[in-house]
Structure 1
Amino acid sequence: MVPADDTLSPSRRAALLQLGALCGLALSGDVLAAVAGSRKAGPPLLLTPTELALTGVLAELIIPRTDTPGALAVGAHRTIDHLLHACSTAAHQGQFRAGLARIDAVAQAHAGKGFAALTPTRQAALLHRLDAGAEPFTAADREFFRQLKGHVTFAYYTSEAGASRELAYLPVPGGFTGRIKVTPATRAWAI
């Protein structure tokens, strides 16, 4: 469950914008501003509440909670809604909403209930078929799922938890330290 007071502070917004500028990210100003201004509370901006909830379920299946928060806990679904509203064309917004509707329709046709109401095992099985583009899904459905995974990954790793708890993060990186032993437990760095 997302805590009630998860709005980004002005200093956090400024830090995200500066971080993007310093790193030379190939992102438009609109995308950086949308990430900095994304919200975790309040009504959805573009998606319906049902579509937002489905996006949250899908996001959590893509990046589940482990010893770090999952995509749902960091509000990736709300960030995606905000990015779609602020940065996407009407055509892309329509394709995203149609992709969500398609997943729900397939779940309804095969299990008699919407995707969010399925058991986690059935949800995962359906997503594996979607990821493979296997029947009843098409290549277009598979492409939507790839885009959704990209949106979820971007939203998650630009969140505070994704950048600082999942990845290693130093607000002001130190000097060069050579010959660091890398193990399977070594985390990658957020820049």
Structure 2
Amino acid sequence: MRGSQNSSSDEQVALSDTRSNEHLEVENPKKRSFLLGLGALIGAAGAANLLGGGGLSVAMAYQGNPQSWQSAGRLFTQKQMQLLRDICQLVIPKTDTAGAGDVDTHGFIDNQLVRCHANWQQTQVVDLLKRIDAAAQKRFKKSFSEASESQQLALLSAIEEAEKEFGRDDAEHFAFLKHMIVFGYFTSEVGATQELAYLPVPGGFKGSIEYSSVGKAWLVNQ
């Protein structure tokens, strides 16, 4: 999980996306369990898109700051950081555990885009945030962050469905952003240890057990 002292800063991870069953092949066996879990959450193609350029090592090294939305990030303005925090919290809301906005997934995305992604991907997300805020101003006469939760959800649903002021490109860019939110959340301490069942040292293998007796997916740190 993020912040662990056992993280390696320069490990190179290679993924291959097969056509038949989206199986993930990883050169470093110590990371295989985590990557398989991420692939199950967002698909092998989505995982491969997130993990280029040392993406996993950078993700694990990131130290969160829940107040990061109050100032400009490395890529985003302060208002964009706040908007992104609101989107993160809508995608993974707070329940009995913290939501994505609570664990600084927005700051994670800001850092991850700058450290691991090409300029065109950075621009893609920045432009998407601008389009979201512009749509909120047009629809509700207020910024996205000032809109009600129901208004915010309606706007994000329109992006997913490529409706009204949004097209297929917007839907694809929003899907990429959601993948980053999932990646950021489940590499945070809360996501890894409270939402996933976390084993710092894996125990023995037990086959053919009922899923109901487990209740969660497992994140194994080997």
Structure 2 length-normalised TM: 0.74
Distance in 1 between residues matched to 2:85 and 2:218, nearest whole Å: 26
The answer on 1:179 being equivalent to 2:203 is: no
Question: How far 1:186 moved relative to its partner?
Answer: 1.0
Distance in 1 between residues matched to 2:203 and 2:56, nearest whole Å: 25
CA deviation string 1:85-109 (max 9, x = no partner): 1111111111110000000000100
Q: Which residue of 2 aligns with 1:8?
A: 3
CA deviation string 1:162-185 (max 9, x = no partner): 111001111111111233222298
**AA partner of residue 114 (structure 1):** S
Q: Judge conservation of contact 2:53–2:117 (CA < 8 Å) in 1.
A: no
The answer on 1:126 being equivalent to 2:134 is: no
Q: Which residue of 2 aligns with 1:160?
A: 189
Paired residues, number: 183
Q: Which residue of 2 aligns with 1:142?
A: 171
**AA partner of residue 3 (structure 2):** L
The answer on 1:107 being equivalent to 2:153 is: no
Q: Judge conservation of contact 1:130–1:145 (CA < 8 Å) in 2.
A: yes
1:93 pairs with one of 122, 133, 156: 122
Distance in 1 between residues matched to 2:124 and 2:174, nearest whole Å: 11
Provide the identity percentage: 36
Structure 1 length-normalised TM: 0.85
Distance in 2 between residues matched to 1:36 and 1:53, nearest whole Å: 23
Q: Judge conservation of contact 1:13–1:36 (CA < 8 Å) in 2.
A: yes
Distance 1:70 1:12, change over 3 A: farther
Distance in 1 between residues matched to 2:213 and 2:151, nearest whole Å: 31
Structure 2 unaligned regions, length at least 5: 12-25, 36-47
Q: Which residue of 1 aligns with 2:38?
A: none
Distance in 2 between residues matched to 1:101 and 1:92, nearest whole Å: 14
Match of 1:146, SS state, is: helix
Match of 2:197, SS state, is: coil
Q: Judge conservation of contact 1:76–1:155 (CA < 8 Å) in 2.
A: yes
Q: Judge conservation of contact 2:53–2:116 (CA < 8 Å) in 1.
A: no
Distance in 2 between residues matched to 1:184 and 1:61, nearest whole Å: 29
- Structure 1 residues 39-118: aligned runs within 5 Å: 39-41=63-65, 43=71, 44-118=73-147
Distance in 2 between residues matched to 1:176 and 1:40, nearest whole Å: 33
Match of 1:183, SS state, is: helix
| Larger relative helix fraction | 1
